[in-house]
């Protein structure tokens, strides 16, 4: 080979390598065009611990990166690194953060109509709740919320299941609630439910709950069995009645602005990963509830399953006043749509 031929071959090789490098660089840019930052207030549990929310969230990260062919980079920020949930929701609404794990109570300041989900004793059965959230109403509510607030629930998730009351005195009937000081969140509807049952609602920060129960500042509290276990309330509470006054939900609330920036195939990938998340969440939530009950009973907590008549009395005392309150505060059409969807789901049981 002559010197000129060698130079030509080297030049061709260099040009080819440069083209390859540019192509790889372009692919890298595409792969990092879409970043999905997700904020969660909880500290991460060990990955081998199955948790109704954290396991599903980790799977969502893996699924979405695979389904998008690596074009969406999912980044989970644990332990409130991006700020308090309420503040991060505002960032999600404005498109500055792509997603946040939050409850309906957290979202209410940005979308008051979500309060309809707090109507007491709304879902008589988990399957009714699933049918309502997975059906036309769940889609309608999600679309309406996204249009009016810029925040989309995707998907509707179970926050440990139903919320129940606990105390240090026996609880088997509505009358047992009379006079009890019950810790609630600073949620007007939750407080009204306690008042309708003859109790005294007392909002106390979560961090102060254990000590408040231990010292008698409050007599009881309300939460799902899974949440009850987190601060070891079995050490300071002896009785739980499985009244199921509220079906507790959470969601991965996603920025509608960010979703709108995605091409159709990637929006479909987000939807598929969200469906997988929901299936995992529901399975583990039900499994956790059973194992949590067994643990609590083994550790001295008396858990009462109220009769059908007792649950009907709980509902009769609380649902009417709560419904009247909601009718003054939320979209009347939305409320009626939800009640219609519930009646239809009950008929299908």
Q: For 125-179, what is each residue's pLDDT tens digit?
A: 999 999 999 999 999 999 999 999 999 999 999 999 999 999 999 999 999 999 9
Integer Cα distance of 161 and 248 in angstroms = 6
Integer Cα distance of 306 and 124 in angstroms = 13
pLDDT tens across 24-83, in order? 334 444 446 899 999 999 889 999 999 999 999 999 999 999 999 999 999 999 999 999
CB 125, CB 349: distance < 8 Å? yes
Q: Which residue has the tokens 């409050």?
A: 218
Which H or E run includes 161?
Answer: strand 151-167
Per the structure block, which two tokens stand in for 340?
Answer: 């219609």
CB neighbours of residue 53 within 10 Å = 24
CB 110, CB 89: distance < 8 Å? yes
pLDDT average, residue stretch 259-281: 98
101: nearest Cα among 129, 73, 76, 67: 76
SS3 252: strand
pLDDT at 191 over 60: yes
CB 104, CB 247: distance < 8 Å? no
pTM of the model: 0.86
Q: Report the Cα 331 to chain-centroid distance in Å.
A: 22
| Region class of 279: left (phi > 0), else alpha (psi between -120 and 50), else beta | alpha
133: nearest Cα among 294, 275, 325: 275
**SS (HEC) of 241-279:** EEEEEEEEEEEEEEEHHHHHHCCHHHHHHHHHHHHHHHH
pLDDT-derived band at 334, boundaries 50, 70, 90 = very high
All domains in the chain, ordered by first residue: 32-347 (3.40.190.170)
Per the structure block, which two tokens stand in for 62?
Answer: 């893996």
- Residue 32's pLDDT is 62
pLDDT tens across 213-260, in order? 999 999 999 999 998 998 999 999 999 999 999 999 999 999 999 999
Residues in the chain, how many? 349
- Residue 23's pLDDT is 43
pLDDT tens across 281-309, in order? 999 999 999 999 999 999 999 999 999 99
pLDDT tens across 95-118, in order? 999 999 999 988 999 999 999 999
pLDDT tens across 22-36, in order? 343 344 444 468 999
């Amino acid at each position: 080979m002559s010197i000129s031929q060698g130079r030509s071959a080297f030049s061709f090789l260099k040009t080819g390598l440069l083209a390859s490098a540019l192509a790889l660089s372009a692919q890298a840019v595409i792969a990092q065009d879409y970043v999905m930052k997700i904020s969660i207030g909880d500290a991460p549990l060990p990955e081998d611990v199955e948790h109704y929310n954290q396991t599903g969230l980790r799977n969502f990260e893996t699924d979405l990166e695979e389904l998008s062919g690596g074009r969406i980079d999912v980044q989970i920020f644990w332990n409130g690194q991006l700020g308090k949930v309420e503040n991060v929701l505002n960032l999600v609404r404005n498109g500055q953060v792509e997603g946040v794990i939050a409850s309906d109570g957290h979202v209410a300041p940005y979308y008051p109509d979500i309060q309809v989900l707090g109507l007491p004793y709304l879902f008589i059965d988990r399957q009714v709740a699933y049918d309502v959230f997975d059906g036309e109403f769940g889609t309608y509510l999600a679309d309406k919320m996204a249009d009016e607030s810029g925040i989309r629930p995707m998907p509707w998730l179970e926050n440990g299941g139903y919320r129940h009351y606990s105390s240090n005195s026996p609880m088997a009937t509505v009358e047992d609630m009379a006079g009890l000081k019950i810790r609630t969140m600073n949620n007007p509807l939750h407080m009204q439910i306690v008042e309708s049952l003859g109790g005294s609602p007392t909002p106390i920060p979560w961090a102060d709950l254990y000590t408040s129960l231990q010292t008698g500042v409050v007599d009881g509290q309300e939460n799902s069995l899974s949440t009850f276990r987190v601060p070891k309330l079995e050490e300071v509470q002896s009785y739980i009645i499985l009244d199921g006054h509220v079906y507790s939900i959470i969601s991965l609330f996603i920025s509608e602005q960010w979703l709108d920036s995605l091409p159709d195939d990637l929006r479909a990938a987000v939807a598929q990963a969200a469906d997988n998340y929901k299936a995992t969440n529901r399975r583990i939530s039900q499994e956790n509830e059973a194992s949590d009950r067994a643990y609590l009973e083994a550790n001295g907590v008396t858990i009462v399953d109220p009769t059908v008549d007792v649950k009907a009395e709980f509902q009769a005392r609380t649902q009417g006043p709560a419904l009247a309150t909601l009718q003054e505060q939320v979209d009347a059409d939305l409320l009626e749509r939800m009640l219609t969807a519930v009646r239809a789901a009950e008929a299908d049981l």
